[in-house]
Amino acid sequence: MVRDYLRREAVFFVSSAIILFFIAIGAARPDLLDALSSAIHTAILDHFSWLYLISSFFFLLFAVGLALSKFGTIKLGHDAERPQYSFFGWIAMLFAAGMGIGLLFWGVSEPLIHYLQSPPFLTPETPAAAEFAMTYAFFHWGIHPWAIYTVVSLSIAYFSFRRGMPALISSCLYPVLGGRIYGPAGNLVDVLAVFATVFGTATSLGFGALQIHSGFTHLYGISSAISVTIGLIIIATALFMASAILGVEKGVQILSKINIILACALLLFLLALGPTPYLFNIFSSTLGGYINNIIDLSLQSYPFAGNEWSREWTVFYWAWWISWSPFVGLFIARISRGRTIREFVLTVLTVPPLFTFLWFSVFGGSALYLEQMPGVDLAAIAGNDVSFVLFVFLEHYPFSALLSLIAIFLLIVFFITSADSATVVLSSLTSGGSMIVPLYKKVFWALALSTVAIILLITGGLSALQVMAIMAAFPFMIVMILLCYTLTIGLAQESVRQ
């Protein structure tokens, strides 16, 4: 009986043991953790940074290929099923799940940093550097992340809704593993998904906490010590743990909707009060450049000059999206039941990226506009403290204190909703795909997420967060390539099945 229990709970025990081991090393020997993670991270980047680029481009081609193929008409569910959510509601949830904190964190700072610290083949702070900065901001936040999510969510949706299997990553590998998905091989795949989700989400929570702290420091002058950031994480943990345990799904949904409306309002406010035609020009020309150069951007690693830059930015982003993909993929799959593959892929690859492009045009474009004004040096601030620059940027608008408060509110709600969803997803992944999970698992994963974020912030701050995202994504990237293969097998068998 005990043996059966251990076998059934293998994914939970193994993944929790790995996370606890990581936390223990981080708490006892942060220097050792830093050295170890840096060594693995360097090895991955030295040998496989190209693989991140090629795989992400392949995921994009795969997703588009599926949508345009004869498989595009296959429904993610039974043939007679209808979508559960309205189109607008679906889009809003897609967007909230896929980006959230990241847009606020990087919306202003990323274009500014590229502008100030461009790769060696570009002269910083020139029009060419500005164009490069905007193009790469579009590229990093454009259709590639959504293609990565699409691969995971399509696989989960297809194998669970259409093939009646549990909503687990291991279920999607049945065509190659067969009955072994119920044994160590399947467990390993689910453990990798848990590992990626914990570190991917912890990275985002770390970013969020840093920026919330910066906001409070900017507004109220509170201490910028790391202990305050940790305190903020502990408070937010109490909130999202309560939300996950009490199952206040409706409350979270309402908060998410309010967040989307507030984010849109903030965007429109900045667009209206900023240099509107200039921002639309940036949107239009950057979009053109992005579309025109998408193949080059996708595969470009600047091996002769700028490879380091490519690793620090593009590879980090691809790894981050991959590490988020089990969590976001499961969530998107759940809300997309009843839609066809074509509708799913084409919507996911167009609507959220278009909104993101507009976001970066407004936030990043306005920041670049302000940067060119005498006496404004946003780029230098972004170079020193990425999390701080948003609030300095908002100072240049009317009602800046209110805008900063809104930004902090957005960050807190994104933090809570993301962490709440991640807790539920992690609990489900470690409970055989069931949505009814024991309380202790929710508590464990909620605490684990926050503790990992705290440990990472203590050991190395922002760079430690980035290192862990890249490390956690690597094994899952291999799983994703397998997912493409098994999904193709499953779809090719549709005629046999019928």
Partner 1 sequence: MFEKTLVPVASGERPGELSKIGFILKSLGSGSVCLFHVNEAASFFRGSDLSWLGPLAQALEDAGLSVETKTGNGHIASAIAEAALMEGADAVYMKAKRRWHLETMFLGSVSRDLLRLSDVPVFVHKLRPRLPDEEDRLGREDLIVLYATDFDAASVRPLPSVMEFQGARCHVLHVRGRMADPATERRRKEAVDRELHAVEEDLRPYFGWVTSEQRIGNPGAEVLRVSEQVSADIIVLGRKTPAFFSVPMGDTAERVVNESKASIFLVPHPGTPDGS
Using CB under 8 A, which of the segments 22-30, 60-68, 168-176, 419-427 binds partner 1? 168-176
- Give the H/E segment covering residue 41: helix 30-68
Q: How far is the CB of 170 from partner 1 (least distance, A)?
A: 13
- In the complex with partner 1, the residue whose CB is nearer, 176 or 273, is 176
Determine the residue type at 308: E
- CB 475, min distance to partner 1, A: 23
The rounded distance, in Å, linking the Cα atoms of 440 and 250 is: 22
Q: Least distance (Å) from partner 1 to the CB of residue 493?
A: 5
∠ CA 303-353-472, nearest 5°, is 55
Asked whether position 497 contacts partner 1 by CB under 8 A, the answer is yes
User: Out of 100, 175, 200, 329, which residue is the one contacting partner 1 (CB under 8 A)?
Assistant: 175
Local structure of 373: helix, strand or coil: coil
Please give the residues from 178 up to 207 whose contact with partner 1 meets the rule CB under 8 A: 178-179
The yes or no reply on residue 174 touching partner 1 (CB under 8 A) is yes
Q: Is 433 in the site for partner 1 (CB under 8 A)?
A: no
Q: Which residue has the tokens 């950031």?
A: 229
Contact region with partner 1 (CB under 8 A), list: 84-92, 220-228, 421-429, 490-498? 490-498
* Tokens found for residue 483: 């997912």
Cβ–Cβ < 8 Å for 102, 466: no
Q: By CB under 8 A, what part of segment 141-160 binds partner 1?
A: 159
Closest-CA residue to 61 (of 172, 143, 127)? 143
Residue 72 or 166: the one with the smaller Cβ distance to partner 1 is 166
| Site for partner 1 contains 164 (CB under 8 A) | yes
Which of these segments, 92-100, 162-170, 218-226, 304-312, binds partner 1 (CB under 8 A)?
Answer: 162-170
Q: Tell me how far, at minimum, the Cβ of 162 lies from partner 1, in Å.
A: 9
Determine contact, residues 113/382, Cβ cutoff 8 Å: yes
What's the CA gap between 287 and 289, in Å, rounded? 5
Within positions 468 to 487, which residues make up the interface with partner 1, using CB under 8 A? 486
Nearer to partner 1, 160 or 256 (CB): 160
H/E stretch holding 165: none
> b vs e for 28-57, b when ≥16 Cβ sit within 10 Å of the residue's Cβ?
eebeebbeebeeebeebbeebbebbbebbb
120 or 178: CB nearest partner 1: 178
- Residue 490 binding partner 1, by CB under 8 A: yes
Distance, in Å, from the CA atom of 450 to the CA atom of 418, rounded to the nearest integer, reads: 12
Instruction: Tell me how many residues contact partner 1 (CB under 8 A).
Output: 15
Which burial class, exposed, middle or buried, applies to 206 when counting CB atoms under 10 A from its CB (0-12, 13-18, 19+)? buried
- Binding residues (CB under 8 A) for partner 1: these are 159, 163-165, 174-176, 178-179, 486, 489-490, 493, 496-497
